Amino acid sequence: MVANRGYNSTSAKTRLRLIEAASEILDEEGYPAFTARRIASRAGLKPQLVHYYFRSMEDLVVTVFKRSSANYFRLHDEALSSARPLHALWRLNCHIPEARRMLEYVALGKIYPALRAEMRASGESFRALQIEAIENVCARRGIANPPMSAASLAAMMSAVARSIVIENNVAMTVGHDEIHAFVEATIDQYDPG
């Protein structure tokens, strides 16, 4: 049996068009529209090409997620290397560029175990980097007994930001100004202006 060369192609223009189309579908139409037919149509291609370039829809969604994750890692690194890394990280997480798509990944993660595993691995990597950044800020500022552990602060910032993003997706903003002020004041205890 001849191996399908499309699976191993990482730079083929057609493959990249399919990845971009899948990203757009998730952003604009959500996970129910994440089908080979819809994605191929968006890319202006035949549906068979989805399965030529990807072993399965799970393989495609994992590829799209990894691309999103790489973009977020870049922004995350920029935030952590800024003068006030915790504030920059908080702002990034509250205004994540691909926020709408994150909800779709969660929904698709219930269907595709490989996506779930990739999301967990990526999330754990981000969390470890955030904990390290908080610990570095504490060490630099001589904070021996911070108000919260680094892991607790990282988890709180992430969870609150995620909730804000989700609520913003449905135009719910009640309490957001107050929670922003609370988190900013908490972060100021570690990373003052």
Per residue in 157-182, pLDDT (tens digit) is 999 999 998 898 889 999 999 999 99
What's the mean per-residue pLDDT of the chain? 91
Residue 2: pLDDT band by 50, 70, 90 thresholds? very low
Q: In terms of domains, do 87 and 160 share one?
A: yes
- Asked whether residue 66 is assigned to any structural domain, the reply reads yes
CA dist 168 → 11, 95, 105, 163, 187 (Å): 35, 10, 17, 8, 22
Per residue in 61-108, pLDDT (tens digit) is 999 999 999 999 999 999 999 999 999 999 999 988 777 788 899 999
pLDDT at 3 over 60: no
Q: In terms of domains, do 129 and 110 share one?
A: yes
For the chain, the domain total comes to 2
pLDDT at 136 over 50: yes
**String of DSSP letters for the chain:** ----HHHH-SS-HHHHHHHHHHHHHHHHT-GGG--HHHHHHHHTS-THHHHHH-SSHHHHHHHHHHHHHHHHHHHHHHHHTSSSHHHHHHHHHHT-TTHHHHHHHHHHHTT-HHHHHHHHHHHHHHHHHHHHHHHHHHHHHT-SS-SS-HHHHHHHHHHHHHHHHHHHHTT--TTHHHHHHHHHHHHHTTS--
pLDDT at 1 over 50: no
pLDDT the model gives residue 79: 95
pLDDT the model gives residue 119: 96
pLDDT at 18 over 90: yes
Q: In terms of domains, do 44 and 97 share one?
A: no
pLDDT at 155 over 60: yes
Q: In terms of domains, do 182 and 161 share one?
A: yes
pTM: 0.87
Mean of pLDDT values over 24-49: 95
- Asked whether residue 5 is assigned to any structural domain, the reply reads no
Domain, as residue range, for 127 = 57-188
pLDDT the model gives residue 6: 61
Closest alpha carbon to 118 in 63, 42, 57: 63
Q: In terms of domains, do 150 and 180 share one?
A: yes
- Asked whether residue 110 is assigned to any structural domain, the reply reads yes
